[in-house]
Amino acid sequence: MRNLSILIIALIAMVSCSIQKQVSITSGELSSELRYLASPELAGRLPGSRADSILLNHISEQFRVIGLKPFQTGYIQPFSLVSSIQADTGNSFSIAGNTLQKSQDYTEVSFSGNGYVEGRAVFCGFGMEINNDSIQWNEFEGQELKGKWIIMFRGEPRQQNVFVQQARDRDKAMRASDKGALGVVFVSGEGFDPSDYLDMSRGMESAVPVPVVQLSRKKAAELFKAHLNLAEAEMEIISKGPVTAVDIPVVLSAHIVMQRIMSQTGNVTAYIEGADSLLKKEWLLIGAHHDHLGMGGPGSSSRKPDTLAVHFGADDNASGVALLLELAEFFSSKDNRPARSLAFATFGAEEKGLIGSRYFTSNMPMESGQVKLMINLDMVGRLKSDSSLQIGGTGTSPGFRDVLSRENAAYGFKLSLSDAGYGPSDHASFYGKDIPVLFFSSGAHADYHTPSDHPDSINYNGMVLIGRYIASITSLYANSDESPVFTEAGPKEASSRPFRGKVTLGIMPDVSEGSQGLAVLAVTEGKPAWQAGMLKGDLIVDIDGKSISNIYDYMYRIGNYKPGDRAVVTVIRKGSRLDLLVQF
C-alpha cells in the first residue's frame, strides 16, 4: 500500500500538467448540452415519458458521435418500472347508503389494495400503538376490529419522535391490516391539514392488503355525527391522551381498483477499451443519472408539489450528464486513452429510488469484481463563490483522501470530504457491490427539486474546473499499475426513515417495485442479518410471521423493533423457505 501511495503521488504532477494542457472540457459545450437536457422539449425528463425516450436516444447518439462503443447491440439498457398509479373509473365508496362523490367527498389512496369490501366501522383515533417505558398508548383497544373498517386521523397527536415514527399513512394502513381490518378510512385533522386537501398520491408505494380511502373531514363529520364528534375527539386525544376505540354502527362499502401503469425506460451505457493488454480487463466507471421530476406535482418529490410546471433539473442532474459527456469526449481522444477500460453510464429512475443503477449493478456487462472505481456526478453545476466541492465515498479505498487533497493543489477547491460509501445517489448501488466509489457534488441549494432549477443558474466555468479535476483523478487511477482496494465505510443501506433508526438488519434492500418479497442486494458483515446467516440474493417474505411484500412493508415492520429484540426473519433461498433468528 505504501508503494501505491508513492507511485500515485509521483504521477500526480505529470497527470495534472497533462490535464491542464489537453482537456477539452469547455463552458460553451457544457452550456449547449445542459440547456438542451434541461429544455422545455424534454419536459423535466420523467422516466417512462415520451420525453424520456427522446432523451435516451439523444444520449445514445452523443456516445456514438464521440466514438464510444456500445456494450450491447445498442447503447440503451432497457428496464421497466411503475410510472403512475391510476384509480379505475368504476371505483365507488358509500357510507350508510350514501354514495359519495369522488374528489369532492373522498379519494382513493395510491397504495390502496384492490377489492370490494363492506362492513361496519371503528374509530381508532390517530391509529397509534406504543408500549415503552415512558409511554403507554393504544388506540385500538375497546372494540372488535377484525372484519371492520378502521377510521383514523392522519398525522400524529403530538410532535414527539415516538409518535412521528408511527405517523406515515402507509404504516397506519399496515397496522390496521394487521389488526384484521377490512379497509382503512383516513380523515385529516385540523392540525394536520386545515385545507382538508384530498390527495390520492402518496408516491409510488406498493399496495397494502386492504382498500384505503381518504374521506373529507366535512363529509366525515356529517356522516358520523350521530356517533362521534370528530373535532372534540381530536382535541381530547391531543390534550389528554388516547381514547378507547369507538364503534360506528354504520355500513361502509367500497369497490376499489388501482391500476399500476408500467413504463419502459433505461440506462444508457458505453465504453472505451483500455490501451494496456492486461489492465484493460479492469474497469473504471463514470456515472450520472439523467432523469428528473417531469412536471412535478403531488407525490413527485417536488419541493413545490402544488406547482405543476416543468421541473427543468438543470443542476439535478443535467449538469452531471453534460459533464459526463465532456469527460467521455476527452478520454476518447487517442492522446488520452486510458490503460484500463473506462465505462460511461447515465442512469434512469434515480429519483424513484436508484432503480436504474441497481438494475445496472444486477446486470453488469462486465464482472463486478473487475470494476475498480465508480465515480458519480450528481449536481455539479452550482459551484459557489467559496469553491466548495463535496466528495463522498472517500473512505471506500485507502489513499482516496490523500490523492484528492494533493491533486486539489492545482485547483484550489474547498473540499468537504465524507468517508461514507452509502448516499442518496447512484454510487450507493455500486458501494453495495463492494466497489470503491467517489461521489462529486457542488452541493444543495434552494432551487433543488423545484421549477427554479434552471440553466441560467448554472456556474458553467465552475463545471469546467470540476470536470478538469475529475479528469485528472480518473486518469490517475485509470493508468496506475495498482487499482483502488475496497474498504467498507459505513452502512450499505438507508435508514428506514427520519427518526426511526432504532434497529437495522444491515442489508442493502431492493427498492424497486415488487410484490413477492424484499430482495437482499448486499449484507453488511457483522450486522444482525449477517450474524443470522442471511445472504445476498435471499428474498425476505416475512418477519415474525407478518408478511413482507416490498421495501415499504419492510420499513414498517423493522421500525417496530428496538435494540435487544429478537425476530424470526423468513427468507426464500433457491426455492426453499428458511427461518433466520435475528438479534437486533
Residue 493 belongs to a domain: no
Residue 49: CA count within 13 A, CB half-sphere: 18
> What is the pLDDT averaged over residues 21-27?
73
What integer pLDDT is reported at residue 154 of this predicted model? 94
Residue 35 belongs to a domain: yes
Per-residue pLDDT reduced to its tens digit, 225-265:
999 999 999 999 998 999 899 999 999 999 999 998 889 99
Residue 491 has pLDDT above 90, yes or no: no
What integer pLDDT is reported at residue 513 of this predicted model? 58
Indicate the pLDDT class of residue 493, thresholds 50, 70 and 90.
Answer: low
Cell of 117: 369490501
What integer pLDDT is reported at residue 516 of this predicted model? 83
Indicate the pLDDT class of residue 298, thresholds 50, 70 and 90.
Answer: confident
What integer pLDDT is reported at residue 159 of this predicted model? 76
**Mean per-residue pLDDT of the chain:** 90
DSSP 97: T
> What is the pLDDT averaged over residues 322-338?
96
Residue 446 has pLDDT above 90, yes or no: no
Percent of the chain with pLDDT over 70: 93
Residue 446 belongs to a domain: yes
What integer pLDDT is reported at residue 315 of this predicted model? 98
Same domain, yes or no, for 59 and 180? no
What integer pLDDT is reported at residue 14 of this predicted model? 47
Q: What is the CATH number of the domain that holds 522?
A: 2.30.42.10
Q: How far apart are CA 154 and CA 210, in angstroms?
A: 17
Residue 279 has pLDDT above 90, yes or no: yes
Cα dihedral sign, 308-313-314-315: positive
Least confident of 203-212, 320-329, 397-406, 450-459: 203-212
The percent of the chain in helix, strand and coil, each rounded to the nearest 5, is 30, 25, 45
Residue 70 has pLDDT above 70, yes or no: yes
Residue 535 belongs to a domain: yes
Residue 489 belongs to a domain: no
Same domain, yes or no, for 340 and 379? yes
Same domain, yes or no, for 270 and 381? yes
Residue 348 belongs to a domain: yes
Residue 501 has pLDDT above 60, yes or no: no
Least confident of 144-153, 160-169, 408-417: 160-169
Q: How far apart are CA 195 and CA 197, in angstroms?
A: 5
What integer pLDDT is reported at residue 502 of this predicted model? 63
User: How many independent structural domains does the chain possess?
Assistant: 3
Same domain, yes or no, for 247 and 377? no
Give the Cα-Cα-Cα angle 571, 575, 578 (nearest 5 degrees): 30
Same domain, yes or no, for 163 and 249? yes
> What is the pLDDT averaged over residues 335-345?
96
Residues 60/50, Cβ–Cβ less than 8 Å: no
- pTM for this model (two decimals): 0.70
Residue 173 has pLDDT above 50, yes or no: yes
What integer pLDDT is reported at residue 23 of this predicted model? 52
Q: What is the CATH number of the domain that holds 155?
A: 3.50.30.30
Residue 427 has pLDDT above 60, yes or no: yes
Same domain, yes or no, for 315 and 461? yes
Least confident of 181-195, 341-355, 496-510: 496-510
Residue 439 has pLDDT above 90, yes or no: yes
What integer pLDDT is reported at residue 492 of this predicted model? 67
Indicate the pLDDT class of residue 8, thresholds 50, 70 and 90.
Answer: very low
Residue 563 has pLDDT above 90, yes or no: no
DSSP helix/strand/coil, 220: helix
Residue 498 belongs to a domain: no
Same domain, yes or no, for 343 and 469? yes
> What is the pLDDT averaged over residues 491-518?
64
Q: What is the CATH number of the domain that holds 59?
A: 3.40.630.10
Alpha-carbon dihedral 488, 493, 499, 504, rounded to 10 degrees: -80
Per-residue pLDDT reduced to its tens digit, 102-139:
999 999 999 999 999 999 999 999 999 998 878 899 99
Same domain, yes or no, for 95 and 79? no
What integer pLDDT is reported at residue 21 of this predicted model? 44
**Domain ends where: 256, 274, 307?**
256
Q: How far apart are CA 552 and CA 503, in angstroms?
A: 16
**Domain ends where: 256, 285, 300?**
256
Same domain, yes or no, for 160 and 212? yes
**Domain ends where: 256, 289, 309?**
256
Same domain, yes or no, for 309 and 197? no
Per-residue pLDDT reduced to its tens digit, 548-558:
888 878 888 88
Same domain, yes or no, for 284 and 252? no
- Please give the residue range of the domain that contains residue 137: 89-256
Residue 3 has pLDDT above 50, yes or no: no
Residues 267/321, Cβ–Cβ less than 8 Å: no
Residues 51/318, Cβ–Cβ less than 8 Å: no
Same domain, yes or no, for 392 and 338? yes
Residue 571 belongs to a domain: yes
